[in-house]
Structure 1
Amino acid sequence: MSAKFTIDDLKRILREGAGTDETVDLDGDIAGSDFEELGYESLALLETGSRIEREYGISLDEDALADARTPAALVDLVNSHLAARAV
């Protein structure tokens, strides 16, 4: 586990927790894509958030998680929590 959460970390957790829609290429540039476009609804994102919390030892607010509509936004959210924990 790295001290910084990356888009690759998120892709791994998405695949492990919620799987992938066969019509979506997670190996492409997904950073700015809406999670719904990628086939991940709110329940899948809650599971993803739970996995991130357990693996990285942080607590994500459900509202903030819901507001993170893209992978880039979620990566930023996780990194802000990791940075706050490191202080």
Structure 2
Amino acid sequence: MSEFTVEDLGRVLREAAGESEVAVGGDSLDTDFAEIGYDSIALLEAAGRIERQLGIQLDDETVGEATTPRLFLAVVNRQGSADAA
């Protein structure tokens, strides 16, 4: 699996939450999702979309603990690498 990028995450979050603009990237990589405007429901929806698109399985608890875009990306990329092995 190729690396899931911040641009990929921004696209999936826009799709999941129905937002036209999303403040993910740059300075917001370490900002809590709640401060950016995404609640746990939007993140679970995004996780489901990522699972379907990448053919991976994400643990709900681990996704719930990924409170920033940087942590969320790490979870996705770690699981993608594990599933590819």
Shared topology, TM-score over 0.5?
yes
- State the match for 1:43 in structure 2: 41
Unaligned runs of 5+ in 1: none
SS in 2 for 1:58: coil
* Cα distance per residue 1:16-74 (max 9 Å; x no partner): 1113387x634653211100001111111110110010001111111001000000000
- The percentage of counterpart residues that share the same residue type is 46
For residues 27 and 74 of structure 1, the distance between their equivalents in structure 2, rounded to whole angstroms, comes to: 12
Give, as a single letter, the amino acid of the residue that structure 2 aligns with 1:4.
Answer: E
Which piece of structure 1 moves more, 37-46 or 27-36?
Answer: 27-36
Q: Quick one: structure 1 residues 61 and 36, their matched pair in 2 at CA, closer, same or farther if it must change by over 3 Å?
A: same
Tell me which stretches of 4 or more aligned residues in structure 1 moved more than 2 Å: 19-22, 24-29
Match for residue 68 of structure 1 among 57, 61, 66? 66
1:15, distance to aligned residue in structure 2 (A):
0.7
Identify the structure with the greater helix proportion: 2
Q: TM-score, normalised by structure 1?
A: 0.86
Give, as a single letter, the amino acid of the residue that structure 2 aligns with 1:16.
Answer: E
